[in-house]
Chains A and B, each alone.
Chain A
């Protein structure tokens, strides 16, 4: 019996060892968890060693002659191909790529979130290329999860590099190195109900923050019970306090020394104060406290981008929203079934602080390469094709043929020109077509010509965004003064900033 117990223990231990080995992850026992280094791309110059000095580099696995290299591409959109959904364009591009490349085979998979990619990379070697939100890129790069693409950028043709909208490349750069390639881009603009503004005595959009505050006051209306009938503006807007504010108020989250956060405490406190002043206006003039406004916000936010959208119903006179809403509004307003023919709306940039320069915020998603990709050269070849100006022009037709914004100048020019005409002409309702064309022209102009600002791509971007969101919320709720909030943010973030100095991006065309 004792022997049997021993045997049982040995078998159990063996099972555990086998299980541990099976879950071990790395195929290469000599270099576990070490990212690949790209080989010298097709360029005479030798690229600098791209990897983080803390991560030892290993040579790539060269593809055998005649071997077909499998490159996997993950994106975050659903796998539907109906109505020109993004997956339709990606699979179409992959088919064309596979047909013209005998040495590489691309597989596109959709519905893969950033967490999916993170888990997959931690557990093995797939995917090679994946889509990510821009704010994850610096953290992932800093932690060694992304392949340094700088040598490939250096070796890439000028017509590929120079076609990107310059400020978009800031989203892909972390401490002087490129870790991502831009994909689609987004900005946030003001949506105005022009008819409501006119009714309240405004024949033009507010030109600065002072005018905006007055316009908010003029357009806000209470019902017979004293409840909210219409708000001028919802002050709690996504990305407003984190990204847009410095653009509006001419300041920055990290000082030029790359360490001090924020650059100007007073300016940040003033920004918080300005948003707080909107809440105060509602409280002082109409008796609606912070919670009442928040309750209103959570009610109307569920109806976004539908015929019951608060801007279309008149519950909001203006709203700061991502530009994607423009196509939806054009469709809804011009659909007779919705009975919204009296709605007059337009877009504009967010008014600046008096004397400030015109700016817009920038966001979007990016493509990244797994640091453990086995074939970095082939993967780059795929990525370069996926992000070429020609591909972007094809993708720009967008879902439902509504137009979609990619980070390429050619794609934006096409949308503002022939492609935009084609999209407008395809609309059954000529009024909708005209509206779509006008929107595309405005937004392409914003992307191509207005300075676009994004949150600094520092190693602690997510911690910083979280601290800003948490403490600014406390200011608006009246639990903290603006300066107390700024001090709390500094207390949280400054130690991280000291550990991870930030190198600002500087653009130089090829």
Chain B
């Protein structure tokens, strides 16, 4: 009998007996599993699938929150191409992705390296470095409004102090006279202020980096040390390649987050704009894509247009993420052995 079953299995024809036993168990497990997953599936349908489908539909309408939407075909999308605020907001957002993201990831990696140092009191240092990540975005924005205040802020006070200790002979050779930046009011510096704020709160990213650093097998370093590699070489030849999947992950997540940059800029704009309408900061330098989308949806009640903006953002993020994945895949090493 056993021989018969084996031969049937080898031909790909399961016996009736075997099929019946397996399917009953499978079904039972399936329905039990499905039952457990059902609350999540319902939530997923209600709060993810439905809003996404609605947004796609509304992006082709003149929906305004109050009145039944009318079908306007591609009007929202054609208007969007001509909208100067969309172009402006895309430029500002691109700045954060291209300039801000590499800075904040580099800073986070630096923090991970510091956290990875085996020294006395490191748990305390790790805690201190991680604490800013727990501060809500709104609170940190308010805090930075004061820290970066150009007259009394601690940052500019520090810069002034630093400048004052430079010997006059050196100052005479400098090709510029030092003036601390106007972090909050100067359109040239506002985005940099947000980037610095982002670096301050990147403890979460640093902890992931720390986990990756801890995952690098020590025998690689030992072998390299025996071969005479110095610290710098070990870092570039061993550490970076082996944590590259983590860096790639952070980079991809960072791209997605930067394209949706909102809360901190919204808070800054509240304080730098005197109007009741959602502003874009000094000279619209903080008018990010998500801020513009919010303004269209909630200040101007152009909900259909805002949905079209969201769809375009989705496509942009998808394309950029795809390209970034393709490009970075060539640089990422998964070969740990």
Complex Cα gap A19–B38 (Å): 12
When A1-B23, A23-B46, A466-B279 are in contact, do A296 and B299 touch as well, CB less than 8 Å? no
When A19-B49, A23-B50, A143-B66 are in contact, do A473 and B283 touch as well, CB less than 8 Å? yes
When A238-B274, A466-B299 are in contact, do A15 and B41 touch as well, CB less than 8 Å? yes
A299 and B277 form a contact (CB under 8 A): no
A143 and B67 form a contact (CB under 8 A): yes
A15 and B301 form a contact (CB under 8 A): no
A20 and B50 form a contact (CB under 8 A): yes
Complex Cα gap A74–B132 (Å): 36
A299 and B66 form a contact (CB under 8 A): no
B301 and A139 form a contact (CB under 8 A): yes
Task: State which of A55, A118, A465 has its C-beta within 8 Å of the C-beta of B276.
Answer: A465
Complex Cα gap A237–B276 (Å): 12
User: With an 8 A cutoff between CB atoms, is B25 at the interface?
Assistant: no
Complex Cα gap A368–B216 (Å): 63
Chain B 268-283: CB-based contact to A (< 8 A → 1; otherwise 0): 0001111111011011
User: With an 8 A cutoff between CB atoms, is A360 at the interface?
Assistant: no
Task: State which of B30, B151, B282, B299 has its C-beta within 8 Å of the C-beta of A477.
Answer: B282
A99: B residues at CB distance < 8 A:
none
When A19-B42, A19-B46 are in contact, do A302 and B146 touch as well, CB less than 8 Å? yes
Chain A 452-475: CB-based contact to B (< 8 A → 1; otherwise 0): 000000000011011011100110
Of all chain B residues, the one with the shortest Cβ separation from A144 is B67
Of all chain B residues, the one with the shortest Cβ separation from A236 is B274
B185 and A465 form a contact (CB under 8 A): no
User: With an 8 A cutoff between CB atoms, is A294 at the interface?
Assistant: yes
User: With an 8 A cutoff between CB atoms, is A291 at the interface?
Assistant: yes
A473 and B67 form a contact (CB under 8 A): no
User: With an 8 A cutoff between CB atoms, is B182 at the interface?
Assistant: yes
Of all chain B residues, the one with the shortest Cβ separation from A240 is B274
A12 and B66 form a contact (CB under 8 A): no
Of all chain A residues, the one with the shortest Cβ separation from B274 is A238
Q: How many residues on A have C-beta within 8 angstroms of the other chain's C-beta atoms?
A: 57
When A466-B275, A466-B279 are in contact, do A294 and B182 touch as well, CB less than 8 Å? yes
Residue with the greatest number of chain B CB neighbours at <10 A, chosen from A133, A140, A143: A143
Within 8 A of B (CB), among A364-417: 371
Q: Closest Cβ of chain A: how far from B106's Cβ, in Å?
A: 29
A509: B residues at CB distance < 8 A:
none
Size class of B's contact patch?
Answer: 35 or more
A474: B residues at CB distance < 8 A:
283
User: With an 8 A cutoff between CB atoms, is B149 at the interface?
Assistant: yes
Complex Cα gap A371–B42 (Å): 31
When A34-B68, A143-B65, A469-B277 are in contact, do A294 and B185 touch as well, CB less than 8 Å? yes
A291 and B182 form a contact (CB under 8 A): yes
Of all chain A residues, the one with the shortest Cβ separation from B41 is A15
Of all chain B residues, the one with the shortest Cβ separation from A143 is B64
User: With an 8 A cutoff between CB atoms, is B45 at the interface?
Assistant: yes
Of all chain B residues, the one with the shortest Cβ separation from A469 is B275
Complex Cα gap A22–B47 (Å): 11
Q: Closest Cβ of chain B: how far from A9's Cβ, in Å?
A: 12
A239: B residues at CB distance < 8 A:
274
Complex Cα gap A19–B48 (Å): 10
A4 and B27 form a contact (CB under 8 A): yes
User: With an 8 A cutoff between CB atoms, is B222 at the interface?
Assistant: no
Within 8 A of A (CB), among B59-78: 64-68
A466: B residues at CB distance < 8 A:
275, 277, 279, 295, 299
Task: State which of B185, B274, B300 has its C-beta within 8 Å of the C-beta of A295.
Answer: B185
B277 and A115 form a contact (CB under 8 A): no
User: With an 8 A cutoff between CB atoms, is A479 at the interface?
Assistant: yes
Chain A 258-276: CB-based contact to B (< 8 A → 1; otherwise 0): 0000000000000000000
- What are 8 A-B contacts with C-beta separation under 8 Å? A15-B45, A16-B50, A139-B301, A143-B66, A299-B151, A301-B271, A473-B282, A479-B283
- Given pairs A16-B49, A145-B301, A294-B182, 9 additional interface contacts (CB within 8 A): A4-B30, A8-B34, A115-B298, A118-B298, A121-B66, A143-B67, A145-B64, A298-B272, A469-B273
Interface residues, chain B, with chain A CB atoms under 8 Å away:
23, 26-27, 30, 34, 38, 41-42, 45-46, 49-50, 53, 64-68, 145-146, 149-152, 182, 184-186, 271-277, 279-280, 282-284, 295, 298-301
**7 closest Cβ pairs, A-B complex:** A145-B66, A19-B45, A469-B275, A238-B274, A294-B185, A144-B67, A295-B150
Interface residues, chain A, with chain B CB atoms under 8 Å away:
1, 4, 8, 11-12, 15-16, 18-20, 22-23, 32-35, 54-55, 115, 118-119, 121-122, 133, 135, 139-140, 143-145, 236-240, 242, 291-292, 294-296, 298-299, 301-302, 371, 462-463, 465-466, 468-470, 473-474, 477, 479
